[in-house]
């Protein structure tokens, strides 16, 4: 995780760095720091806690003058959040400064070696080792680029590094391996950053660095080298989306803004891929011949993306008649999955950076499976590594709790389901057409889940239930997948202990936890299973639970017989219903968190992209 930004030009660097870090705070937010070359000396300012603390410390950047610097926002891995563990880290003699995103796996060995050579360490971080290692080579070679190159050759693990040397004012070096890093071309100024929003105000011309790449740059020039240190030409990509997409635009939180963006995001995912009554996936190369030989599909992901995988099992098995197994990416490699040419591994990741998910992808490829990634962040590591990629095109998602990315990932699963079933002929034409027709109105139906009426009703329930200690989400069939996600949303941003169960499982254990005042959220949209879920609701009510129901217009009257507090969403094709039922659960979690005074966009202990295992 962690966010990096670097600036080299003619303007004051510190305010630009602070501004960039503010856009990267979603990546980590337990401390922040900057290092700026000021009057020929590297000056560092760091502060534990939110960026606002650093901002105050250096008076919005005015306190450190200079046109050349690096900045960092941290999500602690090695050493607790503290001023001293914050980046940038200076090497012992104070001549080299480093910001780092990633993990140096052999840092202890290197630290021992460097300590024996007389280097001193102030922090517990792996990054300070990198700074000292570079300095060690620099002491001997007196050549900054060569020193960086030699030091990087010693590093094991993942890193995006921004490096300054006091003896070489006006030159910055950045290196990337397995952690994201972009280079931004300006006019008489250049940038590095972990992600586009950090520099989008200044440039749209960016290069996504590849693993092993190094860039050595001044304000007017940039030289790129590949993993073998051969010079390479890089053609910049032009970022098409607007900075507004990464701003709150009047919403109190990114999470709320991103929920309201769901209809547009869904449209953006679906409509370019539906042409003349068919799903067209120009981005994938799955042939009919390949699909006919396919024995199994694994869907591998973490967190909410994994829950899309749980829903994908129902969707793909129903439509394509191929066995589908969702697997947590952190478990995949160690579960000895049966993989081969006849296995398709669908990898789902909003960020395209999640370490466990990427490792699973690499393992699947190594064992000969075909891989198809569903990714939001263009040019991310997972997108580059997979055999095929389908982008969700949801636009930047900033809130740590995913909402629109989840919804668009689900939409890509619908597209894949229709695409495969079309090639294999596993769905009757009328059913295919019916689903496709509903798919084309899905964005409008999601909008109906966001009407002021519905939202204020949910806000009211949030105020009623915001003080519960425990919550259980129950549902059957596809509703149970929605429950997993609704429950995760509540626990991650509102810090309420919450669990999700297939409703029928309750009486096999969890019901013993139901007592007076426990909240049970019951999702009941599946026609044949509505009554069964209501029986489970009666069981928990009999034990004192407060129940909040979520259903469709079809059961609007029926649900009132059992549950007084309920939320009603429009009806769509049963295969697509989860796209509508998830919306009130996202809104519910948002308002509960708000009532409890939680930091909705930046929940404690979490980060947007989990680049460590
Ligand atoms: O970027 P990814 O989709 O790979 O991230 C996976 C999970 O870390 C992510 O979905 C996480 O569970 C979110 N905080 C959920 O809101």
Give the mean pLDDT of 582-600.
97
Residue 27 has a pLDDT of 79
Task: Give me ligand 1 centre to Cα 304, in Å.
Answer: 5
What is the per-residue pLDDT across 505-555, written as a single tens digit (0 to 9) for each?
Answer: 999 999 999 999 999 999 999 999 999 999 999 999 999 999 999 999 999
| Distance separating alpha carbons of residues 68 and 163, to the nearest angstrom | 11
pLDDT confidence bin for 277, thresholds 50/70/90? very high
**Ligand 1 atom 4: the closest Cα is on which residue?**
349
In this predicted structure, the answer to whether residue 187 has a pLDDT above a threshold of 80 is yes
Average pLDDT, the chain: 95
Ligand 1 atom, smallest distance to 402 CA: 16
CA of 423 to the centre of ligand 1 (A): 31
- Mutation test residue for ligand 1: of 1, 350, 360, the one with most atoms within 8 Å of CB: 350
Task: Quote the pLDDT of residue 423.
Answer: 96
How far apart are the CA of 399 and the centre of ligand 1, in A? 11
* The pLDDT of residue 612 is above 80: no
Residue whose C-alpha is closest to residue 500's, from 470, 538, 530: 470
Look-up of token digits 């997409």:
245
Binning pLDDT at 50, 70 and 90, where does residue 607 land? confident
Predicted confidence band at 491 (pLDDT cuts at 50, 70, 90)? very high
For range 419-426, the mean pLDDT: 97
Q: Is 608 a catalytic residue?
A: yes
Closest CA to 285 of 410, 419, 404: 419
Give first-to-last CA distance, the chain, whole Å: 11
What does the H/E/C string look like for 268-337? HHHHHHEECCEECCCCCCCCHHHHHHCCEEEEEECHHHHHHHHHHHHHHHHHHCCCEEEEEHHHHHHHCC
Ligand 1 atom with minimal separation from the 304 CA: 10
Cβ atoms of 399 and 493 closer than 8 Å = no
CB contact at 8 A, 208 and 182: yes
Q: Averaged over 307-333, what is the pLDDT?
A: 97
Report the separation in Å between the CA atom of 32 and the middle of ligand 1, taken as the mean of its atom positions.
23
Q: Which atom of ligand 1 approaches the CA of 303 most closely?
A: 12
Positive or negative, the CA dihedral 432, 433, 437, 440 is: positive
For residue 610, the ligand 1 atom closest to its alpha carbon is 8
What secondary structure letter does DSSP report for 370?
Answer: E
- The answer to whether the beta carbons of residues 455 and 509 sit under 8 Å apart is no
Q: Alpha-carbon torsion 508, 510, 513, 514, what sign? A: negative
Give me the pLDDT at residue 609, please: 77
Q: Where does ligand 1 bind, in terms of residues with CB under 6 Å?
A: 302-305, 349-351, 354, 357, 400-402, 488, 492, 606, 609-610
Cβ of 440: how many Cβ atoms within 10 Å? 14
Across the range 287-308, mean pLDDT stands at: 97
Question: Which band of pLDDT confidence, cut at 50, 70 and 90, is reported for residue 605?
Answer: confident
Closest C-alpha to ligand 1, atom 7: 303
Report pLDDT digits (tens) over 32-82. Answer: 999 999 999 999 999 998 899 999 999 999 999 999 999 999 887 788 888
Among candidate residues 23, 111, 177, 608, the one labeled active-site is 608
Of all helices (H) and strands (E), which one includes residue 530? helix 530-542
Question: Which of 409, 610, 613 has most ligand 1 atoms within 8 Å of CB, for mutation?
Answer: 610
Instruction: Quote the ligand 1 centre to 274 CA distance (angstroms).
Output: 27
Share of the chain above pLDDT 90, in %: 89
Distance 251 CA to ligand 1 centre (A): 22
Which residue has the CA at smallest separation from atom 14 of ligand 1?
401
35 is catalytic: no
For ligand 1, atom 9, the nearest C-alpha belongs to 303
Catalytic residue among 2, 302, 320, 449: 2
Decide: 398 and 371 in contact? Cβ < 8 Å.
no
| Nearest one of 403, 429, 361, 381 to 585, comparing CA atoms | 403
The angle formed by the CA atoms of residues 100, 607 and 482, to the nearest 5 degrees, is 150
Distance 90 CA to ligand 1 centre (A): 33
447-457 per-position pLDDT tens digit: 999 999 999 99
pLDDT at 244 > cutoff 80: no
* Ramachandran region, residue 427 (left: φ > 0; alpha: ψ -120 to 50; beta: rest): beta
pLDDT score at 300: 98
Q: Which mutation among 304, 385, 386, 601 tests ligand 1's pocket best, with the greatest number of atoms within 8 A of CB?
A: 304
Counted residue by residue, the chain has a size of 613
Beta-carbon contacts of 308 under 8 Å, excluding residues fewer than 6 positions away, are 299, 301, 348, 374, 406, 409, 410, 413
Task: Tell me the two tokens of residue 368.
Answer: 């000969």
pLDDT value for 391: 94
Lowest mean pLDDT among 48-62, 75-89, 94-108, 132-146: 75-89
CA of 351 to the centre of ligand 1 (A): 8
In tens, the pLDDT along 337-363 reads 999 999 999 999 999 999 999 999 999
Other beta carbons less than 10 A from residue 531's beta carbon: 12
pLDDT in tens, 155-186: 999 999 999 999 999 999 999 998 889 999 99
At 498, list the tokens: 């919450």
Atom index in ligand 1 nearest the CA of residue 351 equals: 1
**Residue 401 alpha carbon, nearest atom of ligand 1:** 16
| Predicted confidence (pLDDT) at residue 242 exceeds the cutoff of 80 | no
In angstroms, rounded to a whole number, what is the distance separating the alpha carbons of residues 16 and 9? 11
Q: Which of 484, 519, 456, 458 is nearest to 314 (CA)?
A: 484
pLDDT of residue 246: 72
**Predicted local confidence at residue 608, as pLDDT:** 81
Degrees to nearest 5, angle at CA 358 with 357 and 359 = 90
65 CA → ligand 1 middle, Å: 38
Residue in 27, 254, 258, 303 to alter for ligand 1 test, most ligand atoms within 8 A of Cβ: 303
Token pair, residue 176, equals: 């990337």
pLDDT at residue 281 greater than cutoff 80: yes
pLDDT value at position 14?
Answer: 97
Measured CA to CA, the distance from residue 53 to residue 350 in angstroms comes to 30
Say if CB 6 and CB 24 are below 8 A apart.
Answer: no
> Looking at ligand 1, which atom is closest to the CA of residue 302?
6
The confidence score (pLDDT) of residue 75 equals 81
Mutate to test the pocket of ligand 1, among 75, 302, 404 (most ligand atoms within 8 A of CB): 302
Least confident of 16-30, 91-105, 222-236: 16-30
Task: Kindly give the distance from the C-alpha atom of residue 407 to the centroid of ligand 1, in angstroms, as a whole number.
Answer: 13
What is the chain's Cα-based Rg? 26
Q: What percent of the chain has pLDDT over 70?
A: 100
């Amino acid at each position: 995780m962690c966010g990096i930004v670097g600036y080299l030009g003619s303007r004051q660097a510190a305010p630009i760095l602070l501004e960039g870090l503010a856009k990267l705070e979603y990546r980590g937010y337990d401390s922040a720091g900057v290092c700026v070359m000021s009057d020929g000396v590297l000056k560092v300012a760091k502060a534990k806690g939110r960026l606002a603390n650093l901002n105050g410390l250096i008076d919005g950047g005015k306190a450190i003058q200079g046109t050349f610097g690096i900045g960092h926002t941290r999500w602690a891995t090695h050493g607790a959040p503290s001023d001293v563990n914050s980046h940038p880290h200076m090497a012992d003699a104070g001549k080299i400064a480093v910001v780092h995103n990633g993990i140096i796996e052999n840092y202890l060995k290197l630290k021992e070696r460097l300590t024996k050579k007389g280097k001193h360490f102030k922090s517990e971080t792996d990054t300070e080792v990198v700074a000292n290692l570079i300095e060690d080579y620099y002491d001997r070679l007196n050549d900054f680029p060569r020193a960086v190159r030699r030091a990087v050759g010693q590093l094991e693990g993942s890193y995006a590094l921004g490096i300054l040397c006091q003896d070489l004012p006006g030159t910055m070096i950045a290196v990337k391996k397995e952690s994201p890093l972009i280079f931004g071309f300006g006019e008489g100024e250049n940038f590095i950053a972990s992600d586009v929003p950090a520099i989008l105000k200044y440039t749209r011309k960016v290069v996504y660095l590849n693993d092993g790449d190094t860039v050595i740059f001044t304000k007017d020039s940039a030289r790129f080298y590949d993993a073998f240190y051969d010079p390479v030409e890089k053609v910049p990509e032009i970022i098409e989306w607007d900075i507004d997409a990464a701003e709150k635009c009047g919403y109190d939180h990114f999470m709320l803004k991103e929920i309201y963006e769901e209809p547009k995001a869904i449209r953006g995912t679906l409509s370019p891929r539906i042409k003349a009554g068919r799903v067209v996936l120009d981005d994938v190369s799955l042939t009919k011949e390949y699909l006919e030989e396919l024995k199994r599909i694994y869907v591998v992901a973490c967190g909410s993306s994994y829950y899309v995988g749980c829903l994908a099992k129902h969707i793909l098995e129903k439509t394509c008649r191929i066995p589908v197994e969702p697997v947590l990416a952190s478990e995949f490699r160690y579960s000895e999955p049966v993989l081969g040419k006849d296995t398709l591994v669908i990898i789902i990741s909003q960020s395209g950076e999640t370490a466990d998910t990427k490792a699973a992808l690499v393992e699947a490829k190594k064992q000969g499976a075909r891989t198809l990634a569903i990714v939001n962040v263009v040019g991310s590591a997972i997108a580059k590594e997979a055999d095929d990629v389908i982008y969700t095109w949801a636009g930047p998602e900033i809130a740590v709790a995913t909402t629109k990315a989840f919804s668009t990932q689900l939409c890509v699963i619908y597209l894949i389901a229709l695409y495969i079933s079309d090639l294999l002929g596993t769905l009757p034409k009328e059913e295919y057409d019916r689903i496709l027709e509903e798919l084309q109105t899905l964005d409008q139906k999601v909008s109906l889940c966001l009407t002021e009426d519905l939202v204020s009703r949910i806000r009211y329930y949030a105020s009623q239930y915001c003080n519960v200690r425990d919550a259980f989400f129950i549902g059957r069939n596809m509703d149970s997948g929605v429950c997993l996600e609704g429950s995760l949303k509540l626990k991650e941003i509102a810090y309420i202990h919450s669990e999700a169960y297939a409703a029928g499982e309750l009486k096999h254990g969890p019901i013993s936890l139901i007592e007076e005042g426990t909240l049970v959220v019951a999702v009941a949209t599946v026609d044949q299973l509505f009554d069964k879920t209501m029986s489970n609701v009666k069981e928990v009510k009999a034990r004192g639970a407060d129940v909040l129901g979520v259903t469709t217009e079809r059961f609007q009257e029926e649900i009132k017989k059992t549950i007084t507090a309920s939320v009603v969403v429009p009806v769509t094709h049963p295969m697509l219903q989860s796209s509508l039922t998830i919306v009130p659960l996202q809104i519910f979690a948002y308002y509960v968190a708000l009532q409890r005074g939680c930091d909705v966009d930046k929940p404690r202990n979490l980060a947007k992209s989990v680049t460590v295992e």
